[in-house]
C-alpha cells in the first residue's frame, strides 16, 4: 500500500448485533467466524450460523461494507474435510475474503476458488517479508495480519519489501507470545489456544478465596489458578483480572511482579499518523468474544481518530488525541490500562 493512503478499519463481529454495531459506527469491514472448530473463537453463544451470516452480509453490503470470514484454526488429524467445507461455505456466501492460517487450507482455497481474496491470519505468525512473499507466490494471498510483536520501524521495513497489503492490530488484548499458539498456555493446560479459542481456557481456571497470610494485607484474598498453577493473588478490594498466564504476577529472584506482560490493552491512537504514513492497509480491532457495546464504543472512537489523522495528513488540521477518546477506550481496556506495545519500543 502506498504511504499516506487511507487504511481500512476492520472490526470484530462475534454476533449479528456486534456486526451491526461495527457497521453502524464506522467499520470499513467486519470479520466473523462459523459456529464450529474452524474458528479460533468458537465459544458458546458466539459466532454466526448460516441465517445470521446471510443477514449480516446483506446488512453490511447494503451499507457499502465488507465481510471477512476467519477460518483460522489448524485442521486436526482425520478431520480436514470439516475445514474444507468451511472454505466452501465461505465461498458460497460470497464473502469478501477468507482469513486463513494453515498452508494446506491456503492451497485448497486458491485451487478451488482462485478469484476469492485470501488473507494470511495472525495465527500464521508471519513476521518477515520472506514468509509473506512466499505465501503470496505459492497461495496468492492479498493481505497479511501481522503479529503484535513488531516495532513500527520493522513494520515499515516489511511493507517496503512486499506487495502484499499489511494489516496491524490497533486496539484490544495484547499478545506477546506466538499468536494463538502460546507455548506457556499449552504447557500449563495441555490444550492449544488455537483450537480451544483462548489461552487460559475457562475450564482450567479456578478462583480460590482464603484468609490473609503473614505479611499480607488483612482480609479475604483471592488466588487465581490455571490448571492448579498459581497465576496471581489479589488483595481485598483489588480488581481481579482473568488469569492469563503471561499476564500473571510471579516471584523472580525474590521480587513479585508482572514478569512477562502487564494486564493491558493495545491502543494505537497516539501513533495513527505514523501507521498511515508507513503504508499500513488496514487496522484491526481485537475482540470477537466481546459485547456489541464494546464493538460500538471502540469502532466509534477509532473511526473518529482515523478520520482526524487522515485529515491531518492532508494538511486539513493538526492531529491530536482527544482525552475523551482515551477515556472511552480505557473503560473497555484490559486492566483499564493501555500500551503501544512493541510499536513504540526502542529495540529493533
**Average pLDDT per consecutive 10 residues, the chain (348 residues; last block may be shorter):** 78 97 98 94 88 98 98 94 98 98 97 98 93 98 93 95 97 74 80 77 88 89 90 85 79 86 84 95 94 97 96 78 93 75 64
Euclidean distance between CA atoms 212 and 67, whole angstroms: 51
Give the burial class of 203: count Cβ atoms within 10 A of its Cβ; 0-12 exposed, 13-18 middle, 19 or more buried: exposed
Q: Which residues contact 196 (CB under 8 A, 6 or more apart)?
A: none
What are the structural domain ranges in the chain?
Answer: 8-174+264-344, 183-257
Q: Are the CB atoms for 329 and 298 separated by under 8 Å?
A: yes
Question: What is the structure's pLDDT at 166?
Answer: 98
Q: What is the pLDDT of residue 348?
A: 45
* Cβ-count burial 10-19 (b if 16+ within 10 Å, e if not): bbbbbbbbbb
CA distance 211 to 11: 43
pLDDT of 177 reads 64
What 8-state DSSP symbol labels residue 48? B
C-alpha cell at 60: 453490511
CATH architecture group of domain 8-174+264-344: Alpha-Beta Barrel (3.20)
Q: How many angstroms separate the CA atoms of 254 and 63, rounded? A: 57
Model pLDDT, residue 273: 93
Amino acid at each position: 500500500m502506498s504511504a499516506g493512503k487511507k487504511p481500512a478499519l476492520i472490526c470484530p463481529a462475534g454476533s449479528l448485533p456486534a456486526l451491526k454495531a461495527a457497521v453502524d459506527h464506522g467499520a470499513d469491514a467486519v470479520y466473523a467466524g462459523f459456529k464450529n472448530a474452524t474458528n479460533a473463537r468458537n465459544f458458546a453463544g458466539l459466532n454466526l450460523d448460516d441465517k445470521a451470516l446471510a443477514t449480516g452480509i446483506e446488512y453490511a453490503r447494503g451499507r457499502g461494507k465488507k465481510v471477512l470470514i476467519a477460518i483460522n484454526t489448524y485442521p486436526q488429524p482425520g478431520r480436514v474435510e470439516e475445514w474444507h467445507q468451511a472454505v466452501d461455505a465461505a465461498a458460497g456466501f460470497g464473502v469478501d475474503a477468507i482469513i486463513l492460517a494453515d498452508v494446506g487450507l491456503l492451497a485448497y482455497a486458491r485451487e478451488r476458488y482462485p478469484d476469492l481474496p485470501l488473507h494470511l491470519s495472525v495465527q500464521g505468525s508471519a513476521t518477515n517479508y520472506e514468509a509473506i512473499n512466499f505465501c503470496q507466490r505459492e497461495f496468492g494471498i492479498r493481505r497479511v495480519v501481522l503479529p503484535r510483536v513488531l516495532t513500527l520501524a520493522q513494520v515499515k521495513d516489511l511493507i517496503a519489501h512486499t506487495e502484499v497489503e499489511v494489516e496491524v492490530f490497533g486496539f484490544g488484548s495484547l499478545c506477546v507470545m506466538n499468536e494463538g499458539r502460546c507455548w506457556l498456555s499449552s504447557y500449563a493446560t495441555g490444550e492449544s489456544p488455537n483450537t480451544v479459542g483462548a489461552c487460559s481456557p475457562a475450564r482450567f481456571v479456578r478462583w480460590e478465596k482464603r484468609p490473609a497470610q503473614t505479611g499480607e494485607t488483612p482480609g479475604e484474598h483471592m488466588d487465581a489458578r490455571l490448571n492448579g498453577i498459581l497465576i496471581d493473588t489479589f488483595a481485598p478490594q483489588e480488581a481481579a483480572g482473568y488469569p492469563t498466564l503471561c499476564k500473571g504476577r510471579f516471584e523472580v529472584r525474590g521480587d513479585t511482579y508482572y514478569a512477562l506482560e502487564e494486564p493491558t490493552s493495545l491502543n494505537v491512537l497516539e501513533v495513527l499518523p505514523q501507521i498511515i504514513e508507513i503504508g499500513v492497509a488496514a487496522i484491526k480491532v481485537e475482540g470477537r468474544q466481546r459485547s456489541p457495546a464494546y464493538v460500538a464504543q471502540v469502532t466509534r472512537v477509532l473511526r473518529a481518530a482515523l478520520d482526524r489523522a487522515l485529515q491531518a495528513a492532508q494538511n486539513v488540521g493538526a492531529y491530536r488525541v482527544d482525552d475523551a477518546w482515551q477515556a472511552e477506550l480505557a473503560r473497555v481496556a484490559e486492566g483499564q490500562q493501555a500500551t503501544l506495545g512493541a510499536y513504540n519500543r526502542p529495540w529493533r
